[in-house]
Amino acid sequence: MKLSVKNIEGQDTGEFEVQFPVIENGKGTQAVHDTIVAYLAAQRSGTACTKTRAEVAGPGRKPWRQKGTGRARAGTFASPLWRGGGVVFGPKPRDYTKKVNRTTRKLALRKAISERLMAEEIVVVDDIKLEASKTKSFIKFLRNLSIESSVLVVTNNVDSNLRLATRNLPDVDVATSADINTYQILKYDKLLFNKDAFQELEKRLV
C-alpha cells in the first residue's frame, strides 16, 4: 500500500510505500477490544470509598434497652438501617487495571492503523511546522488539507508553536509517534502525520 505525501499547502509532493504488513481480514479485532477496555479501565481512579458499620464513628452503646420500650430492637448506632450508619456492600478503593501483553498491544495498534489506512483517514504531510503559535494559522493549514472534522496530529517532537496553536481547539489533539496508542488512533475522525512520525510509528509495527 502506498501513501501520498502533501505539503503545507495541501499539494501532493510524492508518495511512499507502507513498510508494515497491513491487516485486511478480521484478525486483531479482539486484540483491539481488549486493549481499549484495558486503556479505559486504567483511567479509572478507583478511589471511591464508603464506611462499613465497623468504621462509622459513634458511641458503642445500645441506643436503648432491649425490652420494654415498645420499639424494635437496636444494637448499634452504626446500623446500615439508620441515617449516618454504615453502608452495605459499598465501594472500596480498588485497582481497575487489566493486563494486556505486549504482543496483543502491538497487534491492536497495527489493526487500528490498518483500518484507518484502508478507510483513507490518514493524511501524511512532509512537515508540520508553524512559524507562529497562532490558532488561525493552524486552522488554515487544516483547511488546505481538507480536514474539517476531529483530528489527531502526530509528530516526532511537539514544538511549542504547535502545542499553543492547537490547545484552544476542542476537536484537535497532539501526540508523538512514540506515545500514540490504539485508543487515540480510533478516537479521532482523521489522523495527521508528518512523514518522519509515520515512519517512526512503522518501526513499532514491523
Residue 52, judged by CB atoms within 10 A of its CB (0-12, 13-18, 19+), counts as middle
Q: What is the pLDDT of residue 100?
A: 96
Q: Whole-angstrom Cα distance, residue 48 to residue 70?
A: 39
Which 3 state secondary structure label does DSSP give 135?
A: helix
2-44+99-205 in CATH: which number? 3.40.1370.10
Q: How far apart are the first and last CA of the chain?
A: 15
Q: What is the pLDDT of residue 7?
A: 86
**Distances in whole angstroms, Cα of residue 193 to Cα of each of 95, 103, 112, 154:** 35, 24, 15, 5
* pLDDT, one tens digit for every residue, the chain (206 residues): 788 898 888 888 888 888 888 898 889 999 999 999 999 999 999 999 999 999 999 898 999 999 999 999 999 999 999 999 999 999 999 999 999 999 999 999 999 999 999 999 999 999 888 888 899 999 999 999 999 999 999 998 888 899 999 999 999 999 999 999 999 999 999 999 999 999 999 988 88
Domain boundaries, the chain: 2-44+99-205, 45-95
pLDDT digits (tens, 9 = 90+) for 69-80: 999 999 999 999
**DSSP string covering 150-202, please?**
-EEEEESS--HHHHHHHTT-TTEEEEETTT--HHHHHHSSEEEEEHHHHHHHH
